[in-house]
Amino acid sequence: MEAKYNEAIKAGVIGGVILAVLELINQFSGLIDLNSMSSDAAVGVGLCVLGLCCCLFILYIIVLLGIGVLAVRMARPVIMDTRDAIVVSALAGAVGGLIWGVVGIILRFLMPLISPSYSGEYNELSNRVGGSLVSGICGVVCCLPTALVLGIVMAVIGGAIYAVLVPKK
């Protein structure tokens, strides 16, 4: 395999791991039980969780752009033109998006089983398993393709901007 594709895969894996950690934070922030806290603590924690969830989308976009930039930067010595930069960043975005999407699917399968409060008022195991299957299937149908497409598009944008703005030395 060409060196530029190896570098793209490395950049995609690095970005995918970062996205997976952000996805873990996103999913586990839903497990915080504000009802068991005092009212002052619940307000503070609730505002922090709300702010975190709002900021996570921005962090996802920044990481996806960064995957493309990192891929082009790592493969810079063997990239010949902007088209090469776009291909390398697209591959890196696909790898990062795939890792992010697979972790999201796994978490969507597991979260209703881990915490009944996560999936609503499912107290019985059969209801939680059903909720887990529905959540996981929705992840496969919606989340994985979205993560892949978003990963590719944002990484290409980041990689192309970097390739154009930073001259090759």
What per-residue confidence (pLDDT) applies to 116? 58
| Structure tokens, 150 | 């978003």
Band of residue 49 on the pLDDT scale cut at 50, 70, 90: low
Calpha distance 99→27 (Å, rounded): 16
What per-residue confidence (pLDDT) applies to 162? 93
Calpha distance 121→127 (Å, rounded): 9
Calpha distance 92→11 (Å, rounded): 6
Q: Which residue has the higher pLDDT, 10 or 27?
A: 10
| Residue extents of the structural domains in the chain | 3-165
Give the residue carrying structure tokens 């996802």: 60
What per-residue confidence (pLDDT) applies to 137? 72
What per-residue confidence (pLDDT) applies to 21? 92
Beta carbons of 34 and 44 less than 8 angstroms apart: no
What's the average model confidence in pLDDT over 53-66?
87
Calpha distance 156→91 (Å, rounded): 9
Closest by CA position to 52, among listed 26, 32, 30: 26
What per-residue confidence (pLDDT) applies to 27? 78
Q: Which residue has the higher pLDDT, 50 or 160?
A: 160
What per-residue confidence (pLDDT) applies to 83? 92
Band of residue 1 on the pLDDT scale cut at 50, 70, 90: low
Residue range 95-121, pLDDT digits in tens: 999 999 899 888 877 777 776 555 455
CA 32 from centroid of its chain's CA atoms: 21
Confidence check: pLDDT of 62 > 60: yes
What's the average model confidence in pLDDT over 11-27?
91
What's the average model confidence in pLDDT over 41-66?
72
Torsion sign over Cα 16, 19, 25, 30: negative
